[in-house]
Structure 1
Amino acid sequence: MMKKIAGLGLCLTALAMTACGVPASHSDSARTGVNAGSTNESAQTSTSTSARGVDAAFGSAYTWDDGLSVEVGAPETFTPGAYAASTEGYDQFVAFTVRIVNGTSENWDPSMFYATLQSGNQEASRVFDSEQLGNTPSTSLLPGREVEFTMAYGVNDPADLVMEVAPDFSYQNVIFHS
């Protein structure tokens, strides 16, 4: 009887994993993104549409339903200092001023804030330069208060930038771009 129950459990687990999986199809090559480097001559286009999430332009702010707001300024040219970290392999750098306003009724912890940046068709490298940029905020932000700080990145193409931002893991990500 125990063997039958164990066998039934394995079958149900396998069925659940198969039924819940994301359908896939096979292709010999991946599609080309709209931001592919100029050396790729086999650009493909797609007529399918998908949810892009939440988009915002550099220089604008996005406010979540609870009142927390993040503004990412337009990218500006940046020159790292002699002791800056994570600059290897890059000769172009940009900086963004980030302003967060706590319009909620609770304290907000900025230590979980994260941002990633894509430049051209590659991930950019966040630059750490305490002499010029200072540190990212870590003090709790009281309701009604704001904090401003600067983030810099080593980039491949400063004219093609896409930044993904989230105040913490409980908020929906926002995509900032030109």
Structure 2
Amino acid sequence: MKTSLASLVLVAALGLAACTSVPARPVESAPAGSNQPAQSGTATPSANTPKEGVATFGSSYTWEDGLSLTLGQPAAYTPSKHAYTGSQFTHYIVIDVRLVNNTGSPWDPGIAHATLQSANQEGDQIFDSGKLPDQPHTTLLNGREASYKMAFAVADPSDLVLEFTPDWTHTSVLFHH
């Protein structure tokens, strides 16, 4: 009975989330948050105009409510000896992530989730406390931003599609080369 009730609650929550999703729109660059200066470093956006729900690495994506995501270009990564890398792949990449909250309300990045496909295979997210800080979990006030890095073990570093889901109310966005 518990499994059935839990499944019903999950299905209802997903259905509600689908009905209340915040649409997104592509932008050339995300605005800076009040706790960070204007953009610099590897997550500099390119001057492309992605389709709705699709962007390229190195560009930004902004949802209609003002939440923005910038993903840098994937770069080669060397995991520390204590990292969890999965066991399937021997190519490792790292991606800079920048989230800016201009929604007008606090936003919690703690449930943001990313998956990656490489050469038609699911990549493995690398957990490396020796080299990579944890994903941020502190709620971002309006106008604030957070930056971190994600790493993945992949089949082919030249063939990557990353799906980023900010939370239950925002639509996912796909980043590719």
Q: Same fold judged by TM-score > 0.5?
A: yes
State the distance in 2 between where 1:54 and 1:89 align: 29
Question: How many angstroms does 1:53 deviate by?
Answer: 5.8
Aligned equivalent of 1:85? 84
Choose 1 or 2 for highest CA Rg: 1
Structure 2 match to 1:127:
126
Displacement after TM superposition at 1:87 (Å): 3.4
Give the C-alpha shift of residue 121 in structure 1: 1.0
How far apart are 1:66 and its partner, in Å? 0.4
What is the alpha-carbon distance in structure 2 between the residues aligned to residue 156 and residue 120 of structure 1? 6
Distance 2:112 2:86 in 1: 22
Task: Answer yes or no: is 1:161 the counterpart of 2:157.
Answer: no
Report the Cα distance in structure 2 between the residues aligned to 1:104 and 1:89, rounded to whole angstroms: 39
* Alpha-carbon RMSD: 1.2
Task: Give the alignment of 1:97-176 within 5 angstroms.
Answer: 97-176=96-175
Gaps of 5+ in 1: 1-51
Structure 1 contact 97–150 (Cα < 8 Å) conserved: yes
TM-score by length of 2: 0.70
Unaligned runs of 5+ in 2: 1-50
* 2:41 alignment counterpart: none
Q: Which letter does structure 2 place at the counterpart of 1:177?
A: H
Q: What are the Cα deviations for residues 99-155 of structure 1, in whole angstroms up to 9, with x where unaligned?
A: 000011100001110111000010000000011111110000111011000000000
| Count of aligned residue pairs for this structure pair | 127
Identity of aligned residues (%): 45
Rounded to whole Å, the distance in 1 between the matches of 2:165 and 2:86 is 24
Q: Which residue of 1 aligns with 2:72?
A: 73
Matching residue of 2:56: 57
8 Å CA contact 1:100, 1:146 repeated in 2: yes
Separation in 2 of the partners of 1:79 and 1:85?
12
Distance of 2:167 and 2:65 partners within structure 1? 13
Shift of 1:174: 0.5
Amino acid in the other structure paired with 2:116: L
Contact 1:107–1:140 (8 Å) recurs in 2: yes
Divergent runs of 4+, >6 A: none
CA distance in 2, matches of 1:171, 1:96: 21
- Offset of 1:76 from its aligned partner? 0.3
TM-score, normalisation: structure 1: 0.69
Give me the whole-angstrom Cα distance separating, in 2, the residues matched to 1:175 and 1:80: 25
Question: In structure 2, the residue corresponding to 1:111 is in which secondary structure?
Answer: helix
Q: Tell whether 2:111 aligns with 1:94.
A: no
